[in-house]
Structure 1
């Protein structure tokens, strides 16, 4: 009997051990992050609300364009099936757009990227009623193809010239003839407007479809930048493009209106100064006047010009100045009400970004939102309810919510869950979709009615939640601390697995730190931070002065001396961490990408006694090497502010390097040029400093493609393990 009992006990113990082994949680691997996408949230993307607010179009699992019932998600109709046509290009269908009356579809295929936003594509026109498919043009790939509001025509850009196709007979009309590579651009943006103003198209149809307004960039005086493209060629190609650096010549930008009836083009009056920016154009509802948003070169004055489309004559109807700079102008900066009587814009005039309502005729002004809960973006205006919808901060710079404000100034929060929210509204604002995540909750997408009643959960990422249960994931937590100057800063830390407060851990700090940016936010993300924490490192990120969500003074105090306060705050963060009992103060590193790479370089050099090592990916080495719009917005002209440019450029502090330094760059980076790292390398060599470099051939600012991302993060992981 005793032998039987012992046998049963041994079987029971073995079973318990097997059960324990079966439920042992996995740890995050680099493969999970950069090959398998294990923790990638599913989302609802590519969804286009339709005119009746009850349906939406989207690509289904079969790569068909289908119509779905918004309230249920049920597919009700296939609008376009590529497999129904013997057209090889449709195998590379990448997107589509519907005409305003939803009877035609522009089908985009074979996109070829140019820069961050720009690309060319082969476009087709599909008639949903007749089921007829026709190529938009047989004369080469197109850019910026767009239906006219009445759906009868499509305008596009090819080889820097503008064309219009009449969809009744597919006759192609050439609007401009002077387009020339690296000289004249019609209907599209030059490199710096695309990058810094996010200007994705230079074409805009009038509401009556009878006129086409367009940008013309004369970049002939802009200096050329050269990049060697190796691409495994025996003789590498020398790629050249126009890139205006700080203090150098910009493109001369003019605005033109082409009248389709008269076939006459009129140039709009943008003022006598050619050294300025036209950030956006917008038609008035009557189609006879065009609004143009103008900024001076220093970007501390903004004007709204109202131009007569027939004569080109214009007048300034609104002006605002700022002692620092005007926020980057985006699509939502100016909203014109459908009746044409009012306009809505955002301003920091009271120290925080808020919404203002103006009357065109009297220019009477009403401040719509107030307080420290800044507005981030205007989502739309419902003329029927006289309600503005917007994204704003939610009692903290860490959290964002969707709000509405009516004509009486009553504000209502439309996103019920805390964390980071964004929204997509249907065309008539009957429904809206809220995208929500938090530090503990993966992305969810929920459909609501305008009154706030939940209709359905469109995506809950339940499979990801179940997957997370299988992994031992380090927890992220927020914290605040005060610097020696009494400035309170927000941060997060990811503590190592099985954290023991009696032990002392090495720390890897991450930051971006650019003006108005935020890295410390209440949203869901499992990435390299969590991986490093599984390897025994504590990861810390702090948003220092100059970052967003805390008002104009906090953000713009870095004006004219980028890097000065930001580097002080990162060094102060490291010194604060040294006071914590569970931190090994002799083993603190810092890393970052782009502006973050600039900062990690500067912090290692200026904080040589604090940081043991740093990794800089695609860093700006000297603000004189970076583009005009971005750099001058925050620094002024180098001719006027030489010390501001030079005192906080990493290449002027290389002699202070003591720790280990890894410099990483892609040779085909059209944004932060490889030149930055080359010049830093030369400075370090001449200063007698030893360091490490990794170069990624033919990779742009994102350093990706094939196995590149995996290689990059493996390299950085090993470097941290060896040197921290």
Structure 2
């Protein structure tokens, strides 16, 4: 009897261990995803925030300080004339007396969407459709006083005046594939991260907008196959490297006079206008511009009534200027902030509104990675930096007057913060490699007020698993530079064995894979299948100063692949790694670098998996490709040297090529042309296509299928 019980207990234990094994389908289904909190919208005074309830039926106002609800500003069950039972999102007016809610969300590209918007007057508790126009609306923009709203529909701008319950059409030349007013084209959305270029003046009497003429931009098309007898053709304007961009102009609509003026910028060297914004007072509009090479940045103040513009800020760079730095310009009073790399690292500078430099607010051999908020009352600037090293992020504030810097977070790992208006409070998200996200509410001094999400259930689930830990190390680049890396060994690692190695990487300019933060991914599953996993951030990656991240300029793919090859050779020298069984994996830019590394690595990689790879930079968009490579006409040698298509005959190792056929970002054309080059070179390879899937190949079922295929390929071909 005792023996039978013991066997039964052992059986239960074995079953329990099997049930708690890390399974791929659980990872792709999000079982080990970190819980977050619902997005919040700060009130104008920075003391409260607005948040949607879990059922998307109410918008509730909470106190940042106490976390307690103070008001329900919208409720579908109580609002008069409300015809819907839930909503998908909202936009609050600056005066907080009005808001918009929307339904029927229709995604366009990565960020942009259109929807049916509804206007809600909070004081009257009344809902109505924003417009009777049957076309959906996008990029709604409130006037500063909250009494008007501009929005785009069918590429034209419309203006709603709430006091008079009227709307009028501001522009009439908008046309799909030709003219865009107020919104942005594909490449602005993808590479500048903006979908709206409209803004109202401080007195709400002027509306500025950028007009795009994409008539001459070449059109790209791809077929959609699923559930169609005859495939549909999806076409959109996509400027490839060296081709025509949209022609742009900055305009101001005078609401009272009903006239549109084009702003006269005192230069012809303007290819891009990534950002416009009216100053906090007066009629001057800040217009931020870049030349085609993106190494010459100017900010102009345009008088919106006279249309005369003057240069306020100007910066040139021998390589390129990161357009994200333009978003660090924050106007307040008669000053503004700006992050520049002119010292060799990204640091914060304080300017007078006239463009005169007042003070350098941060300095040192580290990068400020984000400017988060400015409090003009306490004279504090809040920011994120990698001062403790590229692996880490912490939150700081600096006094604009005294120059005193204060660290606001005390846990080493990765901190990211979202501040209330004027920086009075912030929500901090912290994690490290072993700790899932800890989300807290903090005051401006960094004091933790309460925990919003501790991910306790996830931590408990992980405790029952044997999760391998990341070990941070450094390896040498070909020129001797130390490169940050991590290595992950199986939970049952045996140093006397030799393991196959899979190197995962992205490697793109200013990117990072090697950071002290939490995440359970398919690569953790790989370690349960007998693989060791490693990642190396080669030259060109982020948070290590300007020279390090820009050293790949004009020669993408060369140093990045050299560094992966050097790292593979180092790993192959370790006693527990089989140097004849090393593979490399990557997606997008990472997929590109897989092909470059396998073509330039002299056989160091036994296998490689390239997902949605660029195969020649001439196929990619103007803004990204030309920022790092200039145009093919200017740098044909660089384009050829960094083209996997041109290097197809040098490919060594077993290759699995994967792409989505409806990828609007890295077009399927990249893989198809590469296939042609491999066939001509008589290189055998494996390929898989996801029908009608875009660049992300999203969905739990798709991701499970993809990573099962990749895992099987690696097991078979190493």
Q: Which moved more, 1:485-494 or 1:267-276?
A: 267-276
Partner residue in 2 for 1:323: 318
Deviation at 1:483, TM superposition (A): 3.2
Superposed structure 1 runs of 4+ greater than 6 Å apart: 85-89
Partner residue in 1 for 2:49: 56
Partner residue in 2 for 1:380: 373
Change (3 A) 1:715 1:271: farther
What are the Cα deviations for residues 306-358 of structure 1, in whole angstroms up to 9, with x where unaligned? 11000111111221111111112356331112x1x222101110100111111
Please point out which of 638, 646, 651 is paired with 1:652: 646
SS at structure 1 position matched to 2:435: coil
Partner residue in 1 for 2:539: 545
Q: What is the aligned-residue RMSD (CA, Å)?
A: 1.8
Partner residue in 1 for 2:673: 679
SS at structure 2 position matched to 1:90: coil
Deviation at 1:92, TM superposition (A): 6.0
Please point out which of 78, 84, 89 is paired with 1:95: 89
Please point out which of 253, 257, 260 is paired with 2:252: 257
Partner residue in 2 for 1:576: 570
- Indicate conservation of the 8 Å contact 1:198/1:330, yes or no: no
What are the Cα deviations for residues 425-447 of structure 1, in whole angstroms up to 9, with x where unaligned? 12243222111111111001111
Looking at structure 1, the residues matched to 6 and 707 of structure 2 have their Cα atoms a distance apart, in angstroms, of: 42
- 1:284 lines up with 2:242 in the alignment: no
Partner residue in 2 for 1:642: 636
Partner residue in 2 for 1:219: 214
Change (3 A) 1:87 1:244: farther
Looking at structure 2, the residues matched to 443 and 240 of structure 1 have their Cα atoms a distance apart, in angstroms, of: 41
Please point out which of 190, 193, 199 is paired with 1:198: 193
Looking at structure 2, the residues matched to 392 and 470 of structure 1 have their Cα atoms a distance apart, in angstroms, of: 35
SS at structure 2 position matched to 1:599: helix
- 1:45 lines up with 2:52 in the alignment: no
Change (3 A) 1:234 1:381: same
Partner residue in 2 for 1:3: none
In the TM superposition, 1:516-595 aligns within 5 A as 516-595=510-589
SS at structure 2 position matched to 1:443: strand
Q: Which moved more, 1:95-104 or 1:575-584?
A: 95-104
Partner residue in 1 for 2:598: 604
Change (3 A) 1:608 1:484: closer
SS at structure 2 position matched to 1:212: strand
What are the Cα deviations for residues 179-217 of structure 1, in whole angstroms up to 9, with x where unaligned? 111111101001111111111212112222111110100
SS at structure 1 position matched to 2:460: helix
Please point out which of 694, 697, 704 is paired with 1:700: 694
Looking at structure 1, the residues matched to 715 and 82 of structure 2 have their Cα atoms a distance apart, in angstroms, of: 49
SS at structure 2 position matched to 1:525: coil
In the TM superposition, 1:277-676 aligns within 5 A as 277-329=272-324, 332-337=327-332, 339=333, 341-361=334-354, 363-406=356-399, 407-676=401-670
Please point out which of 180, 187, 193 is paired with 1:185: 180
SS at structure 2 position matched to 1:574: helix
What are the Cα deviations for residues 668-702 of structure 1, in whole angstroms up to 9, with x where unaligned? 11111111001001001111111111111211111
- Indicate conservation of the 8 Å contact 2:470/2:488, yes or no: yes
Q: Which moved more, 1:527-536 or 1:602-611?
A: 602-611
Unaligned segments of structure 1, at least 5 residues = 1-6
What are the Cα deviations for residues 378-419 of structure 1, in whole angstroms up to 9, with x where unaligned? 111111111111111131000001110102211111112111
Aligned length: 714
Please point out which of 231, 238, 241 is paired with 2:226: 231
Q: Normalising by the residue count of structure 1, what TM-score does the alignment of the two structures yield?
A: 0.96
SS at structure 2 position matched to 1:651: coil
Looking at structure 2, the residues matched to 706 and 498 of structure 1 have their Cα atoms a distance apart, in angstroms, of: 28
In the TM superposition, 1:122-161 aligns within 5 A as 122-139=116-133, 140-161=135-156
Looking at structure 2, the residues matched to 70 and 82 of structure 1 have their Cα atoms a distance apart, in angstroms, of: 24
What are the Cα deviations for residues 260-316 of structure 1, in whole angstroms up to 9, with x where unaligned? 111111111134527611121111112310011111111111111111000111111
SS at structure 1 position matched to 2:585: strand
Deviation at 1:234, TM superposition (A): 1.7
Looking at structure 1, the residues matched to 152 and 25 of structure 2 have their Cα atoms a distance apart, in angstroms, of: 41
Q: Which moved more, 1:576-585 or 1:283-292?
A: 283-292
- Indicate conservation of the 8 Å contact 1:89/1:110, yes or no: no
Change (3 A) 1:394 1:22: farther
Partner residue in 1 for 2:242: 247
Partner residue in 2 for 1:720: 714
Looking at structure 1, the residues matched to 382 and 591 of structure 2 have their Cα atoms a distance apart, in angstroms, of: 36
